[in-house]
Amino acid sequence: MEKNIRCIVAKPGLDGHDRGAKVISRGLRDAGLEVIYTGLHQTADDIVESVVQEDPDVLLLSILSGAHTILFPEIMKKFKEEGINDVLILGGGIIPDEDIAKMKEVGISEIFGPGTKIQEIVDYIKSHLKR
Amino acid sequence: MESSIKSSKIDLDIYNLIEKMRKGDRRAVARLITKVENGGPEVSKQIIKEIYPETGKSFIIGITGSPGSGKSTLTNQIASEYLKKGLKISIIAVDPTSPFSGGALLGDRIRMKSNFTNKNLFIRSMANRGKLGGLAMATKEAIHIFDAYGSDIIIVETVGVGQSEIDIFKSAHTTLVIMPPGMGDEIQAIKAGITEITDIFVVNKMDRNEADKRVNELETMLDIAENIVVDQKNHNIRIIKSNKWRPPVIKTNAISGENVPELIELIESHREFSKTTGLKNKKLAYRYKHYVVDIIQYFQNKDIERLIFSNPKINEFIDQILSYKTGSDPYSISEMILELFSKRYFS
């Protein structure tokens, strides 16, 4: 039997647009993954605490507000402080190309922008799980 | 013959996690639950054997009801009330697995955002992974883990249920059934099923017009049920039907929190009632009887499969089935195998 992959889909910050996050959640579900959607307006602490409790294999952060340059590093810092290093962390939403390298530097494994096929994300997850 | 239930000792990895949990490490708690979810009874038995003496202290509240009735929102309100008292709360929120993709979308956490960072609260979402009955396979084990972790209260929220998902009753000390107004009539209410396992009825969304009508229907149903004399020899019915406790019906508004403190009072009075009348122990005995049967069935099945399929004699029996003669049908052959089995023919 294939391992059940658990994911959290989270919306950090004040961004109120979660249609994309819902599409991703539903798409991953249809691909056979277990998806925990935590809703809008999550602080870095909310997200880290959800990861601690739910013990997911993957965390998908969706952001369209432009605050990723602040929020992604903050979230990653908190993961480091908690000693969490076996969760695959992905980003999505509106992330300008010139920011992608910076996001990867702080530990986001990959960024998926608009137009990404769900299957692409699923394949990426399955081949990059950290445990 | 060595039974598979006895083999294998505890993995060092699991033992270390339990040791960390004993020191209050929340990630270890989460990882142990992942282990029981993915590892099945083989892993569960290692964990439960180790932590069992540390369990039996938590008060377990079951919350069930139809989809969209407000279970998650109300769960969050109940948790908030108990958190105010400084208690340690754990929530297990079960949602359904898609029977087609095997995936699941677990959305109960969204309703519990207000308490995310409270260190006295631990929320765990769980997909039922095809298990019928309203809970997941690993829910019982997760309850024991949260119990050993030192939770004062464990709230178990089932998947949105219909009429006969009653597994929660085997796990909870006090079971709440949430009913929204405007669904069905009194015939639905007396049909039984989840109404039989209810300790407290909650008519949520009390701001809606039909809430009072719903309360009346439930009270009518309870009036009818109260006047029926049950067969006291039937042990199962005696457990679900205690003539000293008439399930109260309360209206709530889970979004505003109206009547939630009153609901907590009802929960506490049922808790006290169960303790003083011995109902709690009766329920526990019922719970563990089923738990033990489940475990025995699982390991027995594995033993039977192992012994039958590893024995070349099985092929002779299968050949007989293929002859399509009287007495060679699968039932007769199974009876023959069972008979041999009970004589330890295969051992």
Can you give the pLDDT at residue B245? 86
Can you give the pLDDT at residue B53? 96
Q: Which residues of chain B make contact with A6, given a CB cutoff of 8 A?
A: 34
Distance from the Cα of B175 to chain A's closest Cα (Å) equals 25
Q: Shortest CA distance to B157 belongs to which of B60, B91, B107, B205? A: B91
Give the CB-side neighbour count of residue B78, counting CA atoms within 13 A.
28
Q: Shortest CA distance to B201 belongs to which of B259, B237, B251? A: B251
Interface test with A, best of B26, B109, B129 (most A CBs within 10 A): B109
Report yes or no: A38 at the B interface, CB cutoff 8 Å.
Answer: yes
Mean predicted lDDT score pLDDT of chain B: 86
Interface test with B, best of A23, A54, A81 (most B CBs within 10 A): A54
- The answer to whether residue B99 scores a pLDDT higher than 90 is no
Distance from the Cα of A98 to chain B's closest Cα (Å) equals 33
**Are A34 and B97 in contact (CB < 8 Å)?**
yes
Can you give the pLDDT at residue B235? 58
pLDDT tier at B337, thresholds 50, 70, 90: confident
What is the complex's ipTM, to 2 decimals?
A: 0.91
Phi, psi angles (nearest 5°) of residue B339: -65, -45
Domains and CATH numbers, chain A: 6-128 (3.40.50.280)
Q: Which residues of chain A make contact with B98, given a CB cutoff of 8 A?
A: 29-30
User: Are A12 and A47 spatial neighbours (Cβ–Cβ below 8 Å)?
Assistant: yes
User: Are B36 and B142 spatial neighbours (Cβ–Cβ below 8 Å)?
Assistant: yes
- The answer to whether residue B292 scores a pLDDT higher than 80 is yes
% of chain B surpassing 90 pLDDT: 46
Can you give the pLDDT at residue B238? 54
Q: Give strand ranges (E) for chain B.
A: 59-65, 89-95, 104-106, 121-127, 153-157, 174-179, 200-203, 249-251
Distance from the Cα of B27 to chain A's closest Cα (Å) equals 5
CB atoms within 10 A of CB B85: 10
Please tell me which residue, B312 or B19, carries the higher pLDDT value.
Answer: B19
d(CA A62, CA A94): 8
Rg of chain A (C-alpha set): 13
- Axis-axis angle for helices A68-82, A97-105 (nearest 10): 10
Report yes or no: A118 at the B interface, CB cutoff 8 Å.
Answer: no
Count of A-B CB contacts under 8 Å = 81
The domain locations on chain B are: 56-278
Phi, psi angles (nearest 5°) of residue B125: -85, 145
- The answer to whether residue B7 scores a pLDDT higher than 60 is no
Bridging pattern class, strands A34-37 and A6-10: parallel
Can you give the pLDDT at residue B26? 95
Phi, psi angles (nearest 5°) of residue A80: -60, -45
3-class state of residue B160 by DSSP: coil
Tens digit of each residue's pLDDT (9 = 90 or more) over B33-70: 999 999 989 999 999 999 999 999 999 999 998 888 89
Q: Provide, for chain B, the percentages of residues in helix, strand and coil under a 3-state DSSP scheme, each rounded to the nearest 5.
A: 50, 15, 35
User: Are B172 and B166 spatial neighbours (Cβ–Cβ below 8 Å)?
Assistant: no
Q: Which residues of chain B make contact with A53, given a CB cutoff of 8 A?
A: 26, 30, 122-124
Q: Which residues of chain B make contact with A50, given a CB cutoff of 8 A?
A: 109, 116
- DSSP letter (8 states) at residue B87: -
Q: Name which of A34, A41, A55 is nearest B106 (Cβ-Cβ).
A: A34
Cα B155 to its chain centre, rounded Å, is 11
Can you give the pLDDT at residue B115? 82
Provide the phi-psi class of B153: left if phi over 0, else alpha when psi is between -120 and 50, else beta: beta
Tens digit of each residue's pLDDT (9 = 90 or more) over B178-218: 988 876 655 665 565 667 788 999 999 999 988 998 898 88
**Are A30 and B98 in contact (CB < 8 Å)?**
yes
Q: Shortest CA distance to A7 belongs to which of A29, A40, A22? A: A29
Distance from the Cα of A117 to chain B's closest Cα (Å) equals 18
**Are B107 and A49 in contact (CB < 8 Å)?**
no
**Are A33 and B103 in contact (CB < 8 Å)?**
yes
Q: Which two tokens stand for residue B19?
A: 């040791």
d(CA A118, CA A26): 10
Query: What are the average pLDDT values for consecutive 10-residue runs of chain A, which has 131 residues?
Result: 84 91 95 94 93 96 94 96 95 94 95 94 96 87
Please state the pTM of the whole predicted model: 0.89
Tens digit of each residue's pLDDT (9 = 90 or more) over B115-138: 878 999 999 999 988 888 888 889
* CATH no. of B56-278: 3.40.50.300
Work out the average pLDDT over B296-306.
Answer: 81
d(CA B146, CA B57): 10
